[in-house]
């Protein structure tokens, strides 16, 4: 265990997670107005209708796959009788499909962003950084999986990456596990930590607004006039009678 | 019975001259910002015409509003909750910027900066969306005054089914103007479509608003509103809509569009309604019955049962009183002149319209007949099916009978009042022929034709300002009350120092005082202030004390004439 390993596989993850959590709390408290999808559908609809669902459903599937691969220990799947080969076939099959959807969707969206004038001019520097981090992470992940499976001996990340990832959350980080993983996985993980650290300050916050409450709330929302009178909070002792 | 109060508007279309003053002042007040260049909370359309955004009334295409499901229950035409969530990544029914129009400015710089040349320089149009040079091909009022109607007049969705007849009649065209704002519906489908729950209806006055802090830019409200009166701000990524100028109406002054209407055609007032009956009324099976059903949801503020229930529901007494004097209530329920715009969308809209008699009058006059004679007008209403059917397509889901009845009342009023104006004896038979008395016709005439400011706008102020006054007593300069010597927001270091002035209530009270004062705002008023340092405590210097109730203009004698305000 050398200092680099500790820095990359212990310090960076914890820093990134801290920024991710605190950043979201901060953003939600101080920038609710900026918390939006910043949709550009008004400018262009044809390409978006194709690319956006492809990308979004694809990446949701990818996220689900990561939950399965990283959080579920190998011993659990073995305990319910899933063989290594079966797991591998399913993971690679679904993963490749989801990854392909994501990549094609992202390619359409990036093409659209670059070629449709109004969309391009509405792209901020923040968006560009976000795109680089997001696409970089996706490409590194997809590339590692595809290249790994083209060789005869694909790396079993469930022996290295997954236990290391879980060890972070037990607060007993084991950087040696990750240091042993192939370069592709390490780069993918680093890109992901960078993405998570940038996440709360980008438009990606809209992920946490997935409006599942819509399924259960009544259609029409009634609200009373603002409790605040004027633009100040009521002084202590002068709150309204309820 | 669950009584709720709704602030509503009625527009008298006969008086609209299509000057767009309402649109311009509204735009200046609310949407003169980047991101909403293309947005008109208030717009005036020429009918027949395609409207703004283009073709918005074609719900087969845009799928806004509600429809009845197979079991007779209301459902969103654009699909239920699950479908909304599944299409959240790309809204399939969102009008693009082309359907509104691409906003533009002109390259004025070249006019002043271009070097000396043979031909005068030209300011070219420049798109406000892309920043590039653009060609103007459409706008919010491209078909104003039937411009281009021979080419695309038949694209008006309301003409569906009668377009053959209209094309035949087009040599003798009819047209009128239709100013539109958000309908502040009783059953708003924009609110129902919002996945985030950011659009809400205020329980006090029924104004439908977007919570900018909760909106996440899913854009479902834009598709859900059949009137296309929710807009997407492409800079902030949030939905925006007409606010019914809530900071103004909260202190009892009319909306900007109404205040600046030169034709005085807008009426604002309260309507009391039974919230428990709204969804039943909106689910009326036959869409031609929806107008009647909605009118039956409204409650009579003279009814003691209603008054008692309103009090139980926490509606203040002066609000019930305002509902009694409400011109909107009179026009909708008493005279039954006002009709809702597109009741077939089942959103229970609350901006109603008095259909115009002018298409009928114009034809009668142009054919050389007496256009103020009752029999001529009645015969023309019966004979001229095209304008009447068209109006019915707008206001009663195609049922011509209510439109007929309204037009007959307007025609009867016209010929009844003509006799009075010419000094002849009024003929009660004319009033009786539309089921009214002469007194009622005269009252109706006063409300429609004279349209005094105080009678057009009966807006009870919100009651929160009392609590704020309490707060101010405790926390601010005690002389800083309305009209007080400290008014004007001095801080310790001069006029603009100190904390941020509270929005809305106080500012708009001052604004109203300024607007209704006889003097020019500002310096004149300051001279009148009493200097407390050298006041000896005798007498009642002007401006030191608020006027007593009896001294207030119009307060003592409600029946008396009141000066029209600017």
Give the Cα separation of B408 and A61 in Å (integer).
Answer: 64
What is the per-residue pLDDT for B31?
A: 94
How close are the terminal C-alpha atoms of chain B, in Å?
Answer: 40
The token duo for B564 is: 């029209």
3-state DSSP assignment of residue B3: strand
- H helix or E strand, kind and range, residue B43: strand B43-47
Is A3:A12 a contact under the CB 8 Å cutoff?
no
Closest A-chain CA to B508: A230
The pLDDT of A172-178, averaged and rounded, is 92
Of the listed ranges A147-161, A203-217, B213-227, the one predicted with least confidence: A147-161
- Split at pLDDT 50, 70, 90, the class of B472 is very low
* Interchain CB contact of B446 with A (< 8 Å): no
Is B453:B562 a contact under the CB 8 Å cutoff?
yes
Give the Cα separation of A11 and B212 in Å (integer).
Answer: 38
Residue B338: other Cβ atoms inside 10 A: 26
What is the per-residue pLDDT for A188?
A: 96
CA distances from A242 to A213, A222, A234, B5, B205 (A): 27, 17, 14, 20, 19
Given the DSSP bridges, would you call strands B3-12 and B351-354 parallel, antiparallel or unpaired? parallel
**More confident site: A217 or B386:** A217
Of B200, B219, B503, the CB nearest to A221: B200
* Interchain CB contact of B507 with A (< 8 Å): no
Pairs of residues, one from chain A and one from chain B, whose beta carbons lie less than 8 Å apart: 149
DSSP state of A8: I
DSSP state of B457: B
For B97-140, what is each residue's pLDDT tens digit? 999 999 999 999 889 899 999 999 999 999 999 888 999 999 99
Residue B151 has pLDDT above 90, yes or no: no
* Interchain CB contact of B78 with A (< 8 Å): no
The answer to whether B462 contacts A225, with C-beta atoms less than 8 Å apart, is: yes
Closest A-chain CA to B96: A42
Give the Cα separation of B374 and B91 in Å (integer).
Answer: 53
Q: Which of B236, B173, B234, B244 shows the shortest CA–CA distance to B206?
A: B244
* Interchain CB contact of B262 with A (< 8 Å): no
What is the per-residue pLDDT for A83?
A: 87
How many residues can be counted in chain A? 242
What is the per-residue pLDDT for B527?
A: 46
Mean pLDDT of chain A: 90
What is the per-residue pLDDT for B17?
A: 95
Give the Cα separation of B305 and B293 in Å (integer).
Answer: 20
For B479-500, what is each residue's pLDDT tens digit? 444 444 444 444 344 443 344 4
The pLDDT of B223-236, averaged and rounded, is 95
The token duo for B452 is: 């005094």
- Split at pLDDT 50, 70, 90, the class of A17 is very high
What is the per-residue pLDDT for B518?
A: 57
Residue B166 has pLDDT above 80, yes or no: no
* Interchain CB contact of B82 with A (< 8 Å): yes
Residues of chain B contacting A213 with CB distance shorter than 8 Å: 197
The token duo for A90 is: 């399913």
- H helix or E strand, kind and range, residue A23: helix A12-30
Supply the Cα-derived Rg of chain B in whole angstroms: 26
Is B244:B268 a contact under the CB 8 Å cutoff?
no
The token duo for B497 is: 């120092």
Beta-carbon contacts of A183 under 8 Å, excluding residues fewer than 6 positions away, are none
The answer to whether B89 contacts A56, with C-beta atoms less than 8 Å apart, is: yes
What is the per-residue pLDDT for B172?
A: 66
Give the Cα separation of B541 and B484 in Å (integer).
Answer: 12
The token duo for B413 is: 């009023």
The pLDDT of B311-336, averaged and rounded, is 95
Quote the percentage of chain A above a pLDDT of 90: 70
For B412-467, what is each residue's pLDDT tens digit? 999 999 999 999 999 999 999 999 999 999 999 999 999 999 999 999 988 754 44
ipTM: 0.89
* Interchain CB contact of B129 with A (< 8 Å): yes
Most confident among A86-95, A116-125, B441-450 (mean pLDDT): B441-450
What is the per-residue pLDDT for B541?
A: 66
What is the per-residue pLDDT for A150?
A: 84
What is the per-residue pLDDT for B497?
A: 38
The pLDDT of B459-480, averaged and rounded, is 53
The pLDDT of A4-27, averaged and rounded, is 95
What is the per-residue pLDDT for B469?
A: 40
What is the per-residue pLDDT for B509?
A: 58
Give the Cα separation of B229 and B215 in Å (integer).
Answer: 16
What is the per-residue pLDDT for B250?
A: 87
Phi, psi of B90 (to 5 degrees): -155, 105
The pLDDT of A67-94, averaged and rounded, is 89
- Split at pLDDT 50, 70, 90, the class of B553 is low
* Interchain CB contact of B432 with A (< 8 Å): no
Mean pLDDT of chain B: 85
**More confident site: A124 or B559:** A124
What is the per-residue pLDDT for B149?
A: 80
DSSP state of B284: -
What is the per-residue pLDDT for B478?
A: 43
What is the per-residue pLDDT for B34?
A: 87
Query: For B516, left (φ over 0), alpha (ψ -120 to 50), or beta?
Result: alpha
What is the per-residue pLDDT for B536?
A: 60
The answer to whether A231 contacts B502, with C-beta atoms less than 8 Å apart, is: yes
Q: Which of A37, A66, A42, A58 shows the shortest CA–CA distance to A108?
A: A58
What is the per-residue pLDDT for B462?
A: 81
What is the per-residue pLDDT for B400?
A: 95
For B184-208, what is each residue's pLDDT tens digit? 999 999 999 999 999 999 999 999 9
Residues of chain A contacting B470 with CB distance shorter than 8 Å: 238
Q: Which of A53, A219, A239 to mutate to test the interface with B (most CBs of B within 10 A)?
A: A219
What is the per-residue pLDDT for A227?
A: 56
Of the listed ranges A131-145, B417-431, B470-484, the one predicted with least confidence: B470-484
What is the per-residue pLDDT for B537?
A: 64
Of the listed ranges A112-116, B312-316, B540-544, the one predicted with least confidence: B540-544
Domains of chain A: residue spans and CATH = 3-213 (1.20.950.20)
The answer to whether B200 contacts A56, with C-beta atoms less than 8 Å apart, is: no
Q: Which of A206, A202, A205, A187 shows the shortest CA–CA distance to A137?
A: A187
Please state the separation of Cα A93 from the chain's center in Å.
Answer: 21
Give the Cα separation of B51 and A139 in Å (integer).
Answer: 47
Compute the nearest-CA separation of B332 from chain A (Å): 25
Is B40:B26 a contact under the CB 8 Å cutoff?
yes
What is the per-residue pLDDT for B173?
A: 76
How close are the terminal C-alpha atoms of chain A, in Å?
Answer: 62
For B513-552, what is each residue's pLDDT tens digit? 656 665 544 444 444 555 555 556 666 666 667 777 665 5
């Amino acid at each position: 265990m050398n200092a680099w390993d500790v820095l990359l596989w212990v310090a960076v993850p914890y820093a990134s997670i801290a920024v991710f959590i605190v950043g979201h709390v901060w953003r939600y408290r101080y920038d609710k107005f900026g918390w939006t999808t910043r949709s550009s559908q008004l400018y262009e609809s044809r390409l978006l209708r194709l690319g956006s669902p492809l990308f979004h459903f694809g990446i949701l599937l990818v996220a689900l796959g990561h939950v399965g691969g990283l959080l579920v220990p190998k011993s659990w799947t073995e305990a319910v009788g899933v063989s290594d080969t079966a797991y591998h076939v399913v993971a690679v099959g679904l993963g490749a499909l989801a990854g392909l959807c994501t990549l094609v969707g992202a390619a359409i969206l990036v093409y659209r962003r670059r070629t449709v004038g109004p969309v391009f001019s509405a792209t901020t520097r923040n968006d560009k950084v976000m795109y680089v981090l997001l696409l970089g992470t996706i490409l590194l992940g997809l590339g590692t999986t595809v290249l790994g499976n083209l060789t005869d001996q694909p790396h079993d990340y469930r022996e290295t990456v997954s236990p290391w990832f879980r060890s972070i959350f037990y607060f007993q980080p084991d950087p040696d596990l990750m240091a042993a993983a192939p370069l592709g996985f390490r780069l993918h993980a680093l890109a992901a930590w960078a993405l998570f650290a940038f996440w709360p300050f980008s438009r990606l916050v809209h992920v946490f607004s997935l409006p599942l409450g819509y399924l259960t709330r009544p259609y029409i929302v009634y609200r009373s006039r603002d409790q605040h009178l004027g633009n100040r909070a009521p002084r202590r002792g002068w709150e309204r009678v309820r | 019975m669950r009584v709720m109060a709704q602030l509503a508007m009625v527009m008298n279309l006969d008086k609209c001259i299509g000057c767009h003053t309402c649109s311009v002042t509204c735009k200046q007040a609310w949407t003169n910002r980047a991101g909403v260049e293309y947005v008109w909370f208030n717009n005036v359309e020429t009918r027949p015409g395609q409207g703004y955004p283009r073709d918005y009334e074609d719900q087969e295409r845009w799928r806004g509003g509600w429809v009845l499901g197979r079991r007779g229950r209301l459902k969103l035409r654009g699909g239920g909750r699950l479908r909304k969530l599944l299409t959240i990544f790309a809204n399939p029914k969102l009008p693009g910027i082309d359907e509104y129009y691409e906003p533009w400015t002109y390259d004025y710089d070249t006019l002043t900066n271009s070097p000396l040349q043979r031909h005068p320089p030209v300011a070219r149009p420049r798109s406000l969306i892309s920043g590039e040079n653009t060609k103007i091909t459409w706008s919010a009022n491209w078909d104003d005054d039937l411009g281009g109607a021979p080419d695309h007049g038949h694209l008006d969705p309301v003409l569906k089914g009668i377009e053959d007849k209209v094309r035949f009649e087009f040599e003798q065209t009819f047209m009128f103007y239709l100013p539109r704002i958000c309908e502040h519906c009783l059953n708003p489908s924009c609110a129902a479509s919002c996945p985030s729950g950011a659009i809400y209806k205020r329980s006090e006055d029924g104004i439908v608003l977007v919570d900018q802090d909760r909106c996440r830019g899913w854009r479902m409200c834009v598709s859900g509103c059949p009137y296309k009166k929710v807009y997407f701000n492409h800079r902030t990524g949030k939905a925006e809509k007409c606010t019914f100028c809530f900071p103004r109406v909260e202190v009892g002054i009319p909306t900007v569009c109404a205040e600046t209407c030169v034709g005085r055609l807008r009426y604002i007032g309260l309507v009391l309604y039974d919230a428990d009956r709204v969804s039943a009324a909106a689910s009326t099976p036959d869409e031609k019955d929806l107008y009647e059903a909605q009118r039956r949801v409204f409650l009579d503020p003279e009814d003691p049962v209603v008054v008692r229930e309103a009090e139980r529901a926490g509606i203040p007494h002066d609000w019930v009183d305002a509902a009694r004097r409400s011109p909107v209530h009179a026009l909708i329920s008493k005279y039954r002149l006002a009709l809702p715009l597109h009741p077939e969308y089942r959103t229970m809209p609350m901006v109603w319209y008095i259909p115009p008699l002018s298409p009928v009058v114009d034809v009668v006059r142009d054919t050389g007949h007496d256009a103020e004679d009752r029999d001529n007008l009645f015969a023309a209403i019966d004979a001229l099916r095209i304008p009447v059917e068209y109006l019915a397509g707008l206001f009663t889901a195609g049922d011509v009978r209510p439109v007929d009845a309204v037009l007959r009342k307007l025609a009867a009023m016209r010929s009844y009042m003509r006799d009075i104006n010419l000094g002849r004896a009024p003929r009660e038979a004319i009033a009786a022929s539309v089921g009214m008395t002469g007194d009622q016709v005269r009252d109706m005439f006063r409300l429609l034709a004279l349209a005094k400011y105080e009678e057009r706008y009966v807006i009870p102020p919100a009651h929160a300002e009392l609590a704020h006054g309490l707060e101010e007593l405790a926390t601010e300069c005690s002389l800083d009350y309305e009209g007080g010597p400290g008014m004007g927001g001095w801080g310790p270091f001069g006029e603009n120092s100190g904390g941020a002035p509270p929005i809305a209530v106080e500012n708009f009270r001052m604004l109203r005082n300024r607007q209704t004062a006889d003097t020019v705002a500002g310096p004149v008023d300051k001279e009148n202030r009493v200097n407390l340092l050298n006041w000896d405590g005798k007498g009642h210097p002007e401006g030191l004390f608020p006027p007593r109730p009896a001294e207030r203009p119009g307060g003592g004698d409600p029946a008396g004439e009141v000066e029209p305000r600017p």
